[in-house]
Amino acid sequence: MRGDAGDAEVMLCSLSVGGQMYGIDTRKIREVLGIRVVQRIPLAPKYIAGAVSYRGEVLTTVSLRALLGLPAVVSETWVIVLDGDGKRQGNAEQFGLMVDAVGGVTMVSRDLLRENPPALSDAYRGLCCGAFRTREGLLVELDPEGLRPERLAERMPGGLKKRVVDRGLG
C-alpha cells in the first residue's frame, strides 16, 4: 500500500473491467483463480456477485462491474482472491473480486502515482488510491481495503437492506 514509503517501485497485477485497466498491489492478492463461475446468491446486495468455493471455504465475491455502476456481462469472468485485513490477523476475511479479465504483473514507480482527481465520481472514490500514467494508458490502482465487503456494506447507500438480485451476474 501507499503507506510503505520505502518501496520506490510497486508490483501491480493488472486487470480490466469495462475496457479500463486497473491494478492491485500483488502483495494483497492471495491467488488468481482464473475463469470461474460465480454462484449468485438471492437477496444479496447488487455489488455482491455471489460466492465461490476456495480451499474449502465459501468466499463472498464482489463484482467490480457492479461497483462501478457498469451493466453486468454474460461472458466469462475472472476471480481474484484478495487477502484479509492485515491489521486484524487471524479473523480477517478473504474475499473474491470478480473482474472481466486479468492481465500480467507490471512494475511501476511510485513517483508516477497521481492522486485521485477531485472530480472523481462517487462510484470510484473509495475504491481507488490513484492512477499511474503508463505507456499503455492510465492504470488505476484499486484499494483492496475499499473493496472489502464489510466496508462496502457501510458505504453503499441502502447497502444490505436493499435486497437486489442482479440476475445477469455470474
Partner 1 sequence: MDNLTQEFLAESFEGLDRMDRCLTELEARPEDAELIGEIFRAVHSIKGATGFLGFTRLERLAHAGEHVIGALRSGRVRATPEVVSGLLGLMDGLRTAILLIEQTGREGGRAEDDDSGMIAMLAGLSGDGPVVEAATQGPGGGSQWNEVSEKTLRIDVEVLNRMMNLVGELVLTRNQMLRAQGDAEGLTELTLRLDGVTADLRQTVMEARMQPVTHLFGKFPRIVRDLALSCGKSVVLEVSGTETGLDKTLLEAIKDPLTHALRNAIDHGIETPEVRMAAGKPRQGMVRLAACHRSGSVVIELSDDGAGISLSRVRAKAIERELVSEAQAAAMSDWDALQMVFLPGFSTSDEVTHVSGRGVGMDVVKSNVERVGGTVEIESREGVGTVVRLRVPLTLAIVPALVVRSGGQCFCLPQSALVELVHVTWHEARLAVERIGEAELYRLRETLLPMVWLDRVLEFDSSEWMHLEHGFYVAVLEIEGRRFGLAVDELMSPEEIVVKALTCGLREVGLFSGATVLGNGGIAMILDVMSLANRAGVHPMLDKLRGQEMAVWAEELKPRFVVFEGKMHGAQAERVAMPIGSVERIEVLSLGAVEYAGGRPLLQYGGTLLPLEDSSGVLAEMVNGRAEAATEMTVLIFRRGTERVGLPVRRVLEVAGGELLPELADESGDSMAIVGERVAMVAGERLQGVA
Report how far residue 66's alpha carbon sits from residue 44's, in angstroms, rounded to the nearest whole number.
13
10 in contact with partner 1 (CB under 8 A): no
Please, which of residues 82-121 interact with partner 1 by CB under 8 A?
93-95
Residues paired with 141 in a beta bridge: 23, 130
Contact 111, 133 (CB under 8 A): no
Closer to partner 1 by CB, 21 or 62: give it: 62
If one counts every other C-beta atom within 10 angstroms of the C-beta of residue 7, the result is 13
Q: Does 34 bind partner 1 (CB under 8 A)?
A: no
Residue 68 within binding range of partner 1, rule CB under 8 A: no
d(CA 170, CA 73): 8
Cross-strand partners of 137? 134
Identified binder of partner 1 from the candidate list 39, 114, 136, 158, rule CB under 8 A? 39
* Of residues 10 and 36, the one with the C-beta less far from partner 1: 36
43 touching partner 1, by CB under 8 A: yes
Nearer to partner 1, 14 or 61 (CB): 61
Enumerate the H helices of 4-163 as residue ranges.
64-67, 144-147, 149-155
Burial 107-128 (b: 16+ CB within 10 A, else e): ebeeeebeebeeebeeebebbb
Stretch that binds partner 1, among 8-16, 56-64, 101-109, 115-123 (CB under 8 A): 56-64
Asked if 53 is part of the footprint of partner 1 (rule: CB under 8 A), the reply reads yes
Residue 80 binding partner 1, by CB under 8 A: no
Task: Output 112 or 153, the one with its CB closest to partner 1.
Answer: 153
Strands 57-63 and 95-99: parallel
Cβ 152 to partner 1 shortest distance, Å: 7
32 binds partner 1 (CB under 8 A): no
Instruction: Answer yes or no whether residue 73 interacts with partner 1 by CB under 8 A.
Output: no
